[in-house]
Amino acid sequence: MYTLIQTCRFNDVDSHAWLRDAIAQISDHPQTRLPELLPWEWKARQQRPEAIAQAA
């Protein structure tokens, strides 16, 4: 867990937001697509225009 939190810090990701979202998604997420939940991938997905529009 510490390594994942540090990875968030190194990638300028809000670790609390990432962890909350990753835990919420992981049970329904296909095993073959788990790398999508890594902090840098999560950040890139959050910055896409469609993700910003859905959050509003």
Burial label for 21, CB within 10 Å (0-12, 13-18, 19+), is middle
- Contact (CB, 8 A) for 7 and 37: no
Residue 2 has pLDDT above 80, yes or no: yes
Render pLDDT for 23-46 as a digit per residue (tens, 0 to 9): 999 999 999 999 999 999 999 988
- Whether this model's pTM surpasses 0.85: no
Angle at 25 between CA 20 and CA 29, to 5 degrees: 150
Q: What beta strand segments (E) does the chain contain? A: none
Percent of the chain with pLDDT over 70: 86
